[in-house]
Structure 1
């Protein structure tokens, strides 16, 4: 399951009151870097994580870089600015940007049926139960999934972890095996029945790996080569990629697993080493990028600048606005949005959570209307806050995903009284 990079949902309680005076609601703010530094230091001292760093960019300049603790406790190596990080599902927005470049070039339409471009998905069916023979009971879907569905997790696909009937097939074919190419993944993914009719549920899934295969088919390049040539190189992200050199181990942060007693133990590296150094063919669209806070901030700054950075145009402003606009059908009830509702008051655009209203309760994370973001399994987080002209990257390497850590970090950034309405 770790290889799938599931960023488990959520925002949980915080002490701030969601209702504040109108004079505060539209108040601009400046990040309190000493408060952020103190938060990181306390987090390490309290044993909530072994090490962490954060980079805040605001109003066209770097506002804060802070770090604390160790990238590798076993080597007594500090969590530094050039520490390499496994970001897991923060790979997903990169994949979405790559695919939307091809959309701008007219290679596909968002409402094209997926099988127009990947014929293996023609004839998909929905699993509704398990028959007496132990096999899924199938029916035709109300419509085929579209590329837009694939971009917003409404295709009905699975991640193999639901316990629903479709996942019996997933377990048999193992689409995301590191031994598969993306082409082989896609063929096997197409064997797995849908969990729901397209467009009716938000289901976090391997759909972003399907996006990666679309990039390959539409561009004629391997996925990682396309991303390197069209995102990483133009953005100057020289420290970012899937496959790494053995010399990188000296900069790679260890992932720590939290035990039931709260202790943090290093996760064995064998699986990562095998996938990254042993020539395994899989390059996932939903996970796998290794990067630094500076490199990922360049990606975030491009998004904040509506698609451009330092003279490199990656996407058009209208495309960034499309991706960062909630596009979920209002008929998809909260109960059919899985854990997405735990991330705040909002919905989903194209590979991003999108905040659509200020925090509605005292338990909801601080954030600004219009912000968009995603996170990653080892408690990684980034967000883009256009209303405050700000982008933030928070880096740590702790599993399981720590919702409370993100809650408290956002308090450190915004303060307890921030109501979530940007200045006019």
Structure 2
């Protein structure tokens, strides 16, 4: 009997170990958003409105396909005593960019272009670009031919080198060209932009600029449709994003949030409506890819849920899983060391219209997040992220300029994931 038990003991141990490992493997991960976490988020967001750091704030979080958090605090319109709520329409500014990227990549899936093709193949305005070298003794620009053409990949990851406001001599030309005037069509915008020297050789640096507006122009060229029409037909309508527009419908203006400016002294003042609403209450010629859309929490959540579900929402497929993976993988090589303010977002790279977290937070001062998450934000301090590891998506809305000087995003992320832990987030 003893020999028999000894003989089968190794088998029993192996079976037991297999059962334990299988049980552990199949055990679902603990949820991120628990009752305690909801309370922590509530307290965090309420603190920002109670202290007057922002007039109103709202947030929506989905985890594993289900809504796990929503709340709103403060005012969409403080002067009218109108509370921030689920149906408030806000200016999402640069959160327009990922929508543009998805529109472009639907054409990529159809074989309309390859990422490393020259942009000039489809937009000849960008042929034979010149690059700024300096100015001579008389103040005249010195330029040289670009070492290589701008590629489509460059305009999806902000490495094209388009002229910005950092170099005075180029800034003067940018102001004179006024390429982003709302009276310009995308075609006129592209011609004026292409007439300016580049700030650096394509692929040499990361610099935020009009790259995504050029993507919108490329969508028009490849699809043969106005950009806003293509976005509506390809993304907004299929996802039932019925509250997302460039121009806020007149009967929805009562839901449109006011925009607030916070001074260095911490005083919150309303940006005059004539200025704040100028772009979104008139049907301008320019339908930019880089900014301009307005949306609601639920609408934008549909977009993020499509992304976390690898290109699909319900029965509607917008992109293939491999395309979402391509977009949410960093395309910045280590040779691109000059990255403007991108490192302020955390230890991230940049994919196709998303920042992509490549390493865990280094310390408690860095924005919290999970490796593999992809995200972006908007000039009025809105933000979203997609966390594939936890199947979690978060959308945060407020209407505050300048961009997040109050560290709302850092506080919100800490409230969701817990404060920095050197062992890492779940």
Give TM-score scaled by structure 2 length: 0.90
- In the TM superposition, what whole-angstrom CA distance separates every residue of 1:322-342 from its partner, at most 9, and x where no partner exists? 110011011112xx0111011
Q: Quote the Cα distance in structure 1 between the aligned partners of 2:133 and 2:182.
A: 29
Work out which of the residue numbers 175, 178, 181 in structure 1 matches 2:185: 181
Structure 1 gaps of 5+ residues are 1-25
- Contact 1:274 1:280 (8 Å CA) reproduced: no
**1:371 corresponds to:** 373
- Contact 1:325 1:349 (8 Å CA) reproduced: yes
Paired residues for 1:25-424 under 5 Å: 28-31=30-33, 32-158=37-163, 160-333=164-337, 336-403=338-405, 404-418=407-421
- Contact 1:36 1:409 (8 Å CA) reproduced: yes
User: Shift in Å at residue 172 of structure 1?
Assistant: 1.1
Q: Quote the Cα distance in structure 2 between the aligned partners of 1:358 and 1:420.
A: 10
Runs of 4+ in structure 1 deviating by more than 6 angstroms, as ranges, are none
Higher relative contact order (CA 8 A, sep 6+): 1
User: Shift in Å at residue 136 of structure 1?
Assistant: 1.9
User: Shift in Å at residue 402 of structure 1?
Assistant: 1.1
User: Shift in Å at residue 421 of structure 1?
Assistant: 5.1
Q: CA RMSD in A?
A: 1.6
Q: Quote the Cα distance in structure 2 between the aligned partners of 1:96 and 1:421.
A: 30
- Contact 1:199 1:329 (8 Å CA) reproduced: no
**2:18 corresponds to:** none
User: Shift in Å at residue 169 of structure 1?
Assistant: 1.6
**2:16 corresponds to:** none
**2:9 corresponds to:** none
Give TM-score scaled by structure 1 length: 0.90
Q: Quote the Cα distance in structure 1 between the aligned partners of 2:364 and 2:153.
A: 34
- Contact 2:347 2:361 (8 Å CA) reproduced: yes
Q: Quote the Cα distance in structure 2 between the aligned partners of 1:226 and 1:106.
A: 17
Q: Quote the Cα distance in structure 2 between the aligned partners of 1:58 and 1:28.
A: 11
Larger Cα-atom Rg:
2
User: Shift in Å at residue 365 of structure 1?
Assistant: 1.4
Structure 2 gaps of 5+ residues are 1-27
Q: Quote the Cα distance in structure 1 between the aligned partners of 2:96 and 2:257.
A: 17
Q: Quote the Cα distance in structure 1 between the aligned partners of 2:210 and 2:409.
A: 24
- Contact 1:346 1:356 (8 Å CA) reproduced: yes
